[in-house]
Structure formats: structure tokens, C-alpha cells
Amino acid sequence: MSADMATGAAADRPASHENQPTEQVQTAPLLAAAAGEAPSRPPVWFMRQAGRSLPEYRKLREGMPMLEACFNPEMVCEITLQPVRRHDVDAAILFSDIVVPLVAAGVGVEIVPGTGPVVAEPIRTAEQVAALPTVTAEQLRPIARAIGLLRNELGATPLIGFAGAPFTLASYLIEGGPSRHHERTKALMHSDKPTWHALLDKLAGITREFLRMQVASGVHAVQLFDSWAGALSERDYRELVLPHSTAVLGSLGDAGVPRIHFGVGTSELLPAMWEAGADVVGVDWRVPLDEAVRRLSVAGAERPVVQGNLDPALLLADFSVVEAEVRRIHAEGRAAAGHIFNLGHGVLPETDPDVLTRVVELVHSLEP
């Protein structure tokens, strides 16, 4: 299908229809579990299920930079579909990157192989924050086209959209790239709180626009990744981050799609992340799911729904180890009103795709 045809596919569907799942999708296991209802089978998908672990992905991406691929609707569609075909997962997640809306807006960001996002001019002053551009629907049109293509291909399989949370985006912009200690970020957030809040307010606006575009284009759920929030204390998170994540997730409260909120190393932040407006709380491998449910319940969640949380490193172990862990996590997840099986973070590049397929088969064989 040509890019022009992709444009037509996205444009021809009325906007009022984009959000309405087909009857088959409405009863999909993932959406049932996200709503705290009984699914027909335990749902499972994997963060970074589309990507470097798949030989078909590496072949398709050969010679094409990551961000160029993210703005190519046909390539986004094909890459998103690859793990659905191969693994029979219960959801597709849009192939993209958390810096895509920044790049679309005109911020100078490059994804450097082996490093990650690198920012041409780090943002550390009030003047730079004021000059940070916003993003428009027109700038995001290639991603909307990709979602239109995917809606035509996925049938009964739900499509998950996603975005990076304001704190994680801010860390990349301030540090200039990935950081182990987030020292410049923490220095700014404590020494110049007005500039910090102005930056996160702008980033929350960009993230809202990105997610609302995805919902309007037809995704069935969204996930907000706060990859680096685990570097913060609960006090700092609540004062300096939570209001901005709440602004993002709260803006989707009437969108009619489940909102998943995930971070790495955020065991102590789970109640606060739920308070931001999450329908589903993603849990990494550092805390058992039944303990995560207990913490959420104490915080006031009457029927918590969780996602997770197999350690992705264990996928490289003997399958007997993997099987035991899958069964343990499934059992612990039964403490929740709903459980979506996933990893505690993304699929590692060294992972054997056949192991992922076997995990899906095992999860599907367990009692809902």
C-alpha cells in the first residue's frame, strides 16, 4: 500500500468511528482484564515485542535509521504486526519511540545506536523552556496514518498506543541523553522549580496531544512510560512530577480507553502512579504482583488491575526456569481484579523469539 493510500485509509473513516472498537475487540481478553472483568484467556503482550529480538524486524530495518522508520506509516504498520503474527500475543503496541512527538515538533533529537536518544541542544534554562515548540496534529499525521493502516489489519486484536511521561522526557532533554544518575535533572528540579514546572507543563501538553491523536486515530488502550521515575523519592515524585502525569492521564479520562501507567524501579511509587489516573498499573520485576496489589489497595484502589512482571533477563534461562516464573506470576496476579501478563520491562535484544512464543502458549494454557 502506498503512502497516498495510507493517507486515504486514515482519512476516510469518520472520527466518531475511530474510537469505537468492533464487537470482537470489545470482548478481547486484554480489554476485559483491563476493566477488571473475566477474560476468555489470560492476556499477554510484551513491552518491546516488536524490535531487535525479531530477525524479520532486523531485515526490514536494515539501513534505515530508527526515527525515519517511526515516521514511515507502512513500516510502522508492518513492524507492529510482526510479533502479533509470530507470537499470537493479545495486543499489538504501536511501533514508535517516546521521543517521536519531540522530533515531530522540531526538537533536535537523534537516536544513536547503542546509546539511545541524544539531544542536540540540552534544555536547562527558562529561556530554552519558553522556546520549546508544541506539537500539532499535522506534524503527527504519519503516526495517525500508521494507526489507520493497523486498524484495517489487526481485526480482533487490540492496538495499544503509548507515549513517554513528562518526567522521562524532561530527563532526556536536560541531560542531553540517557543518564544513570539524572544529576542535572534533579539539580534543576530542586534549584529552579518554576522553570522545572514550566518544562513539565510544556511536555505534558505535547504528550497529551500525542496520546489524544492516537486515541482519535483508533488505538484501543494507551500506556504512559515513565521509564526513569524510579530514580525519584516518593516525596519528590508527588511534588514535582505527579501533577504533570495527572494532567496527561486525566485528559484521557473520557476517552473510553484503558490507561496503563508503567515505570522501572517504581515499587515505592505505585500508589502515586495509580493516583495519576491509571486504570492499570504496570509493575516491574522488583516487587511481586500480590504485594503491588496490596499497596494499591491500601492507597484506596478498590479493584486494582496490574500488568507484569516477568524479569526479561530470565527469558535467557532454561525454559524450566521461565515456566516456573510464569506460573508464579500468574498465581500472584490473581490477587488483582485483573491481570495482564507482561515483562517487568522490555524484551532484550538477545532474547530467542521462540521463547516468547512458548511463554504466550503457556500463559494462554493457564486458568483465566
At residue 24, the pLDDT reads 79
β-bridge pairing 305-310 and 259-263: unpaired
* Counts of helices then strands in the chain (DSSP H, E): 19, 9
The pLDDT, as a whole number, for residue 38 is 96
pTM: 0.93
Compute the distance between CA of residue 72 and CA of residue 70 in angstroms, rounded to an integer.
6
Task: Label residue 26 by pLDDT band (50, 70, 90).
Answer: confident
So which residues are the catalytic ones? 48, 52, 61, 97, 172
Nearest alpha-carbon partner for 272 in 253, 252, 244, 291: 244
Residue % of the chain over a pLDDT of 70 = 94
- Position 114 scores a pLDDT of 86
Q: Which fold has domain 3-12+21-365?
A: TIM Barrel (3.20.20)
Q: Per-residue confidence at 21, pLDDT binned at 50, 70, 90?
A: low
pLDDT one-digit tens code per residue, 254-296: 999 999 999 999 999 999 999 999 999 999 999 999 999 999 9
pLDDT surpasses 90 at 2: no
Q: Check residue 164 and report its DSSP letter.
A: E
Q: What is the pLDDT of residue 23?
A: 61
Q: Give the separation between CA 308 and CA 194, rounded to whole angstroms.
A: 36
Q: Any bridge partners for residue 222, and if so which?
A: 161, 259
Q: Is the peptide bond before 19 cis (omega within 30 degrees of 0)?
A: no
Sign of CA dihedral 104, 67, 215, 293: negative
Bridge partner list, 310: 343
- Residues near 268 by Cβ (< 8 Å), separated by ≥ 6? 233, 234
Angle at 54 between CA 53 and CA 55, to 5 degrees: 120
pLDDT on residue 55: 97
Least confident of 5-19, 89-103, 106-120, 329-343: 5-19
Average pLDDT, the chain: 93
- What would the mean pLDDT of 135-161 be, rounded to a whole number? 97
* Averaged pLDDT, 318-341: 98
Average pLDDT on 288-313 reads: 97
Amino acid identity at 196: W
Residue 274, all three cell numbers: 495509580
Using DSSP, state whether 225 is helix, strand or coil: strand
* pLDDT recorded at residue 15: 38
The set of cell numbers assigned to 60 is 526490514
Question: How high is the pLDDT of residue 82?
Answer: 98
pLDDT above 80 for 306 = yes
Interval 240-246 mean pLDDT: 98
Picking from 30, 39, 12, 293, the residue whose alpha carbon sits closest to that of residue 156 is: 30
Of 79-83, 110-114, 234-238, minimum mean pLDDT range = 110-114
